[in-house]
């Protein structure tokens, strides 16, 4: 493994430096049928789940074949996508905002051979490489974060629970049988890089133990004022601590009853780790949406306060999500999103229909907005 220089000279970093050029321009990557008909599309129609056609004013058609995929993707897999796109799509391919891969072709006769090829490709363990689906009134890919694969504050894994949940919900990925589309998202800690807080069903990693304090190393490894400032609830204070050997060191103390388990202190200070096998697990939230269709966008609500991490396949999480999806499938009206259904039938009925336990953790007690979630009417259902 000999070092090969790119041409960069570390002694003269500014020599020939190119900066601030931004991304490649979008239109150099458009397939010709897109470039020609941009802004002139008339309508779209699903041929089957995962396959749809857009028709332009010119009469041109573009068929999109949508495939699920792990957002974690190796160059081997991307090169296989390229091979397919070269063979069927004149070297063009795109991704959706929810990590699906879309192959676009400009004629109906080009669709079936592509579908046949995509459906024939499997990984060595037997899973599909390119399952077709994820459109319409069904469940598309789960957007998610890094989890144990690459993050320092996760309370659960991301890719593993996503794989387990999508395996279970696969029938909904490949059908249009729900009342409306149902968006599932996962964020592996409450900082929510994935912004899952407006999803029909959100899977959220959560810690439940305050940080441990590595007093001996605190002042050596951390800027203590930064760790204090990082705490959103002001739970961390400077403290002088006597080590077992009698030496007094500068450290911090944590007001544990104020800890909200976000891990921001650990981000600033490696001497404050909080992850824990028993403490960490999953919160389920439900009923959010981002679309303005019919009703305004909504936040997801916490409906299950805690499920332990159960690697490798998170069976309780998977089962609980299925209960919600099936209750929604049976109970909601056509076009009604999960949150709209819950609001129509009432949350008391939602817990009953989904067979979920209602515990005190689900009543908001975090600051002022909590009051607005308590019931201020005599109207309720028995």
- Residues 159-218 close enough to bind other proteins by CB under 8 A: 159-160, 163-164, 166-167, 170, 173, 175-178, 181, 187, 190-198
Cα dist from 90 to 84, 93, 108, 130, 138, whole Å: 9, 9, 15, 19, 30
Quick one: which of 11, 21, 246, 377 contacts other proteins (CB under 8 A)? Answer: 21
* C-alpha closest to that of 354 among 335, 381, 332: 332
Neighbours of 64 (CB within 10 A): 20
Show contacts with other proteins in window 225-284 (CB under 8 A): 229-230, 232-233, 262, 264, 266-267, 270, 275-278, 280
* C-alpha closest to that of 203 among 168, 251, 242, 176: 168
Quick one: which of 154, 210, 211, 331 contacts other proteins (CB under 8 A)? Answer: 154
Show contacts with other proteins in window 67-96 (CB under 8 A): 68-79, 81-82, 85-86, 91-96
How far apart CA 75 and CA 65 sit, in angstroms, is: 21
Show contacts with other proteins in window 107-146 (CB under 8 A): 123-131, 135-137, 143, 145-146
Question: With respect to other proteins, which residue has the nearer C-beta, 119 or 352?
Answer: 119
How far apart CA 259 and CA 252 sit, in angstroms, is: 14
Contact between 59 and other proteins by CB under 8 A: the answer reads no
CB of 355 to other proteins, least distance (A): 23
Contact between 3 and other proteins by CB under 8 A: the answer reads yes
Question: With respect to other proteins, which residue has the nearer C-beta, 335 or 380?
Answer: 335
SS3 340: helix
How far apart CA 40 and CA 27 sit, in angstroms, is: 16
CB 193 within 8 A of CB 145: yes
Question: With respect to other proteins, which residue has the nearer C-beta, 166 or 303?
Answer: 166
Contact between 318 and other proteins by CB under 8 A: the answer reads no
């Amino acid at each position: 493994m000999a070092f090969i220089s790119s041409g960069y000279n570390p002694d003269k970093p500014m020599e020939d430096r190119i900066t601030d050029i931004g991304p490649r321009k979008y239109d150099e990557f458009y397939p010709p049928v897109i470039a020609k008909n941009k802004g002139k599309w008339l309508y779209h129609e699903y041929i089957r789940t995962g396959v749809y056609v857009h028709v332009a004013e010119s009469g041109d058609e573009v068929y999109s074949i949508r495939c699920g995929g792990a957002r974690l993707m190796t160059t081997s897999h991307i090169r296989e996508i390229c091979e397919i796109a070269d063979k069927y799509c004149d070297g063009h391919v795109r991704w959706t905002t929810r990590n699906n891969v879309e192959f676009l072709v400009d004629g109906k006769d080009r669709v079936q051979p592509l579908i046949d090829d995509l459906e024939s490709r499997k990984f060595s363990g037997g899973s599909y490489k390119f399952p077709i689906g994820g459109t319409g009134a069904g469940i598309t890919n789960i957007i998610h974060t890094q989890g144990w694969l690459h993050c320092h504050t996760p309370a659960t894994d991301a890719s593993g629970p996503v794989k387990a949940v999508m395996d279970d919900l696969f029938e909904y990925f490949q059908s249009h049988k729900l009342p409306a589309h149902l968006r599932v998202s996962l964020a592996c800690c409450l900082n929510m890089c994935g912004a899952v807080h407006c999803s029909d069903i959100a899977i959220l990693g959560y810690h439940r133990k305050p940080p441990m304090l590595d007093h001996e190393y605190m002042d050596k490894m951390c800027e203590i004022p930064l760790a204090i400032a990082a705490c959103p609830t002001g739970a961390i204070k400077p403290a002088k601590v006597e080590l077992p050997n009698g030496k007094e060191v500068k450290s911090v103390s944590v007001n544990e009853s104020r800890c909200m388990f976000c891990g921001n202190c650990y981000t600033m200070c490696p001497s404050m780790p909080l992850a824990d096998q028993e403490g960490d697990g999953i919160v389920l939230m439900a009923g959010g949406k981002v679309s303005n269709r019919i009703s305004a966008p909504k936040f997801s609500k916490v409906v299950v306060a805690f499920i332990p991490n159960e690697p490798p396949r998170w069976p309780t999480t998977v089962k609980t999500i299925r209960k919600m999806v099936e209750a929604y499938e049976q109970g909601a009206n056509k076009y009604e999103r999960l949150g709209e259904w819950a609001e129509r039938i009432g949350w008391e009925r939602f817990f009953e229909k989904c067979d979920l336990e209602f515990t005190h953790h689900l009543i908001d007690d975090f600051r002022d907005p909590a009051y607005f979630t308590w019931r201020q009417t005599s109207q309720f259902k028995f």
